[in-house]
Structure 1
Amino acid sequence: MLRAMIVDDEELSVQRLGILLSESGELGLCAAFLNPAEAYEFAKTNPVDVAFLDISMPDIDGMLLSTLLHDLDDSIDIVFVTGHDEYAVQAFDRNALDYLLKPVTAERLSRTLDKIRKRHRFAAAAGSSAQVLLFNGLKLYRRERDQVQVKLRSPKTEELFAFLVCKGTVSREEIVDTLWSGLDKNKALKNLNSTLYYIRKAFDNGESDSFLAAGKHEISIREGALRCDLYEFERLLKQVRQAPEKQADLFRRAEALYTGRLLQGKDYEWAAELARSLERQYIELLEAGARFHIGINKPQQALHYFSEILKLDAMREDIHHEAIRLYAELGRKNEAFRQYRMMEEMLEKELGAKPDLRMKHFITKMGP
Structure 2
Amino acid sequence: MLRAIIVDDEELSVKRLRRILAASREISSCHEFLNPLEAIEFVKANPVDIAFLDISMPEIHGMKLSASLLELDDSLEIVFVTGYDEYAVQAFDMSALDYLLKPVTAERVSRTLHKFRKIQNLPATSPSPSPAAALTVRLFNGLKVFRGENTEPLKLRSPKTEELFAYLICKRVVSREEIIDTLWHGLEPEKAWKNLNSTLYYIRKAIGQSKAGGCIVADRNEIRIDERALDCDLYSFERLLRQYRPLSDKNTEWIREAEALYAGPLLKGKAYEWAGERAHQLEHGFLQLLELAARSCLERGQSRQALYYFNEILKMDTLREDIGYEAIRVLIELGRLNEALRQYQVLAEELQRELGVEPGPHIQELVNGLRP
TM-score by length of 1: 0.70
> Which residue matches 1:32?
none
Secondary structure, in 3 states, of the residue corresponding to 1:131?
Answer: strand
Deviation at 1:351, TM superposition (A): 2.0
Q: Is 2:134 aligned against 1:129?
A: yes
1:43, 1:57 → 2: CA distance? 13
1:238-295 deviation digits (Å, cap 9, x = unpaired): 101xx32114121221122111000000000011111111111111111111111111
AA aligned to 1:49 is R
Alpha-carbon shift at residue 180 of structure 1 (Å): 0.8
Is structure 2 residue 235 aligned with structure 1 residue 196?
no
Distance in 2 separating the partners of 1:216 and 1:183: 19
TM-score by length of 2: 0.70
Aligned pairs for 1:271-282 (under 5 A) are 271-282=275-286
Letter in structure 2 aligned against 1:245:
L
Gaps of 5+ in 2: 1-6, 22-52, 67-78, 115-123
- Return closer, same or farther for 1:201/1:47 CA change in 2, 3 Å cut-off: same
Aligned twin of 2:295: 291
Higher helix fraction: Structure 1 or Structure 2? Answer: 1
Match for 1:49 among 13, 16, 19?
Answer: 19
CA shift digits 1:63-122 (9 cap, x unpaired): 76998xxxxxxxxx998896979978989836x8xx79xxx99xx77987xx9xxx9x96
Match of 1:326 in 2: 330
Aligned residues of 1:200 and 1:208 also touching (Cα < 8 A):
no
Contact 2:215 2:226 in 1 (8 A): yes
Q: Which moved more, 1:156-165 or 1:348-357?
A: 348-357
Matched residue, 1:360: 364
> How far off its partner does 1:217 sit?
1.0
Residues in 1 aligned to 2:365 and 2:210: alpha-carbon distance in whole angstroms: 67
1:225-304 alignment, distance < 5 Å: 225-240=229-244, 243-246=245-248, 247-248=250-251, 249-304=253-308
- Among candidates 302, 305, 313, match of residue 309 of structure 1: 313
2:172 touches 2:225 (CA, 8 Å); kept in 1? Answer: yes
- 1:308, 1:315 → 2: CA distance? 13
What one-letter code is carried by the residue in structure 2 that aligns with 1:301?
Answer: Q
Go from structure 1 to structure 2 and tell me whether the alpha carbon gap of 1:165 and 1:126 turns closer, same or farther (over 3 Å shift).
farther
Question: Is the contact between residue 286 and residue 309 of structure 1 (CA under 8 Å) also seen in structure 2?
Answer: yes
Match of 1:187 among 188, 191, 198: 191
Q: Distance in 2 between matches of 1:110 and 1:152?
A: 39
* 2:154 is the counterpart of 1:150: yes
1:146 deviates by 2.9
Query: For residues 326 and 212 of structure 2, what CA distance do their matches in structure 1 show?
Result: 48
Contact 2:133 2:208 in 1 (8 A): no
SS of 2:213 mapped into structure 1: helix
Shift of 1:359: 2.1
Q: Does the CA contact (< 8 Å) of 2:54 and 2:81 recur in 1? A: no
* CA–CA distance in structure 1, aligned partners of residues 304 and 264 of structure 2: 23
For residue 354 of structure 1, give the secondary structure of its aligned residue in structure 2. coil
Which residue, out of 71, 75, 97, partners 1:93?
97
Aligned-pair Cα RMSD in Å: 4.2
1:172 aligns with 2:157: no
C-alpha contact (below 8 Å) 1:199/1:208 kept by paired residues: no
Shift in alpha-carbon separation, 1:187–1:128, aligned structure 2, 3 A: closer
Any gaps of 5 or more consecutive residues in structure 1?
1-35, 68-76
Mapped partners of 2:307, 2:367: distance in 1: 18
In 2, Cα distance between equivalents of 1:124 and 1:148: 22
Are the counterparts in 1 of residues 218 and 224 from structure 2 also a CA contact under 8 Å? yes
Tell me the SS of whatever aligns to 2:271.
coil
Cα 1:40/1:163, change in 2 over 3 Å: same
